Amino acid sequence: MAVQTVVTSTDSSAVDLGPAAALSCRECGHRVPLGPVFACEECFGPLEIAYDFSAYDTEELRKRIEAGPANIWRYAPLLPVPADVAEKPNLNPGWTKLVQADHLAGELGVEPGKLFVKDDSGNPTHSFKDRVVAQALEAARAFGFTTLSCSSTGNLAGAVGAAAARAGLRSCVFIPHDLEQGKVVMAAIYGGELVGIEGNYDDVNRFCSELIGDPAGEGWGFVNVNLRPYYAEGSKTLAYEICEQLGWRLPDQIVVPIASGSQLTKVDKGLQELIRLGLVEDRPYRIFGAQAKGCSPVSTAFKAGHDVVRPQKPDTIAKSLAIGNPADGPYVLDIARRTGGAVEDVTDEQVVEAIKLLARTEGIFAETAGGVTVGVTRKLIEDGVLDPSLTTVVLNTGDGLKTLDAVAGTGLTATIRPTLDSFREAGLA
């Protein structure tokens, strides 16, 4: 990947992104000023946001968060956004429900009161991606970009289209040409340009990296490429919300889906920050990664004990997770191993079963990615890897209405004439 030099219409020293102090390399620690860059100029490692939280008093910060709006901006003091972010036009995602899932717990053999589903289908464009796009939008504004773009497995395209529409920016997004109809419509409806690429997500991503280095992409903020350090921080809000909703307590176990692996690494970063800030008690927690078998490069590496993630060619109904060459794969392996977690995968059949199980036990209709996390949770419990006596949070990151094909065949119980006789004949009385 080419190193992007800082090209910005504003002086980066004047950029106000709240507590964000600099970009720092995750490999060598080299620091550079905030800008639309994503790779280290020294070692090509990925850059992430470094903060200055030194001025915060724990109790004051807790009160400030609790008094904040019922969306991700209650955590603005911990995000790369200006203090007045909530007043600007954006979609205000987050503060989604943490559902105590006792019926599902019963089916999975988890103790009552111990299993929770964090249901991110309740976000404005019905996936967790609104969280990350909201951060990237602030970075795009700060750096003076006029077009918002991305490479997407579907949900991100919709989230970018909607956020750009709300902010009054142009959007032009790129997806594999063969995605689910629900994802395509959701990405197109907000009026931006939607381009299907003949290839899989990894081809789309490579194309976008080329476009960034070309004059044709000038002035474009690619939320998950040149704005990736900012974008990625949005996933921390999942960790913040889960802990606050549990009464400022760490869960013991979290099951997180893996596409690029960004979400999982930032959920961990969010938990670490809460511990460091004193907002939660420092106790061990375990992070589990979930993939579909048809695209399981990280779980394959985990099980083989490898540190390197070998790319795969995806073939699964869980298209939102179908990244064959996950950028954050090695970091996911580190986190799963450091926290005593694991990375596991389930077949497409198990994904569909899990979607139906969650719907019939808790009234939550998950997209395929949610089928992956619930299916993996079930498998990890059966295999004795996940402890059913501990507090466990399973992420549902998207809405089943976008992946209806996955549950094709689900439909009418019976078709009857409008008479009581007909109703009785159908055996429904």
Ligand X SMILES: *Cc1c(COP(=O)(O)O)cnc(C)c1O
Segment near ligand X (CB under 6 A), from 47-55, 121-129, 186-194, 341-349?
121-129
3-state SS string for the chain: CCCCCCCCCCCHHHCCCCCEEEEEECCCCCEECCCCCCECCCCCCEEEEEECCCCCCHHHHHHHHHCCCCCHHHHHHHCCCCCCHHHCCCCCCCCCEEEECHHHHHHHCCCCCCEEEEEHHHCCCCECHHHHHHHHHHHHHHHCCCEEEEECCCHHHHHHHHHHHHHCCEEEEEEECCCCHHHHHHHHCCCCEEEEECCCHHHHHHHHHHHHCCHHHCCEEECCCCCHHHHHHCCHHHHHHHHHHCCCCCCCEEEEECCCCHHHHHHHHHHHHHHHCCCCCCCCCEEEEEEECCECHHHHHHHHCCCCCCCCCCCCCCHHHCCCCCCCHHHHHHHHHHHCCEEEEECHHHHHHHHHHHHHHHCCCECHHHHHHHHHHHHHHHCCCCCCCCCEEEEECEEHHHHHHHHCCCCCCCCCCCCHHHHHHCCCC
Looking at beta carbons only, is 361 or 397 nearer to ligand X?
397
Q: How far apart are CA 100 and CA 424, in angstroms?
A: 37
Contact between 135 and ligand X (CB under 6 A)? Answer: no
Contact between 296 and ligand X (CB under 6 A)? Answer: no
- Angstrom CA distances, 352 to 72, 227, 405, stand at 31, 34, 10
Looking at beta carbons only, is 253 or 397 nearer to ligand X?
397
Give the shortest CB-150-to-ligand X separation in angstroms: 10
- Contact residue for ligand X among 139, 186, 259, 406 (CB under 6 A): 259
In DSSP terms, 82 is beta-bridged to none
Contact between 350 and ligand X (CB under 6 A)? Answer: no
Looking at beta carbons only, is 15 or 187 nearer to ligand X?
187
Our CA dihedral for 148, 367, 333, 224, rounded to 10 degrees, sits at 0
Contact between 367 and ligand X (CB under 6 A)? Answer: yes
Task: Return the structure tokens found at 69.
Answer: 């709006």
Give the shortest CB-149-to-ligand X separation in angstroms: 16
Segment near ligand X (CB under 6 A), from 1-9, 19-27, 133-141, 258-266?
258-266
Contact between 397 and ligand X (CB under 6 A)? Answer: yes
Looking at beta carbons only, is 72 or 258 nearer to ligand X?
258
Looking at beta carbons only, is 401 or 426 nearer to ligand X?
401
Contact between 258 and ligand X (CB under 6 A)? Answer: yes
Range 9-28, binding ligand X (CB under 6 A) = none
Give the shortest CB-257-to-ligand X separation in angstroms: 4
Range 198-257, binding ligand X (CB under 6 A) = 257
Give the shortest CB-227-to-ligand X separation in angstroms: 14
x-or-dash string of contact with ligand X, 260-289, rule CB under 6 A: xxxx--------------------------
Q: How far apart are CA 357 and CA 344, in angstroms?
A: 19
Looking at beta carbons only, is 187 or 259 nearer to ligand X?
259
Q: How far apart are CA 395 and CA 121, in angstroms?
A: 10
Segment near ligand X (CB under 6 A), from 16-24, 125-133, 173-181, 213-221?
125-133
- Contact residue for ligand X among 24, 90, 125, 127 (CB under 6 A): 127
Give the shortest CB-321-to-ligand X separation in angstroms: 6
Looking at beta carbons only, is 114 or 126 nearer to ligand X?
126
Looking at beta carbons only, is 147 or 320 nearer to ligand X?
320
Contact between 398 and ligand X (CB under 6 A)? Answer: yes
Range 142-161, binding ligand X (CB under 6 A) = 155
Give the shortest CB-65-to-ligand X separation in angstroms: 24
Inter-residue contact 115 to 152 (CB < 8 Å)? no
> What is the size of the binding site for ligand X (CB under 6 A)?
17
Q: How far apart are CA 238 and CA 271, in angstroms?
A: 9
Contact between 361 and ligand X (CB under 6 A)? Answer: no
- Contact residue for ligand X among 151, 226, 320, 361 (CB under 6 A): 320
x-or-dash string of contact with ligand X, 77-116, rule CB under 6 A: ----------------------------------------
Give the shortest CB-369-to-ligand X separation in angstroms: 4
Give the shortest CB-125-to-ligand X separation in angstroms: 10
Contact between 378 and ligand X (CB under 6 A)? Answer: no
Using alpha carbons only, how large is the chain's radius of gyration in Å?
Answer: 21
The residues binding ligand X (CB under 6 A) are 127-129, 155, 257-263, 320-321, 367, 369, 397-398
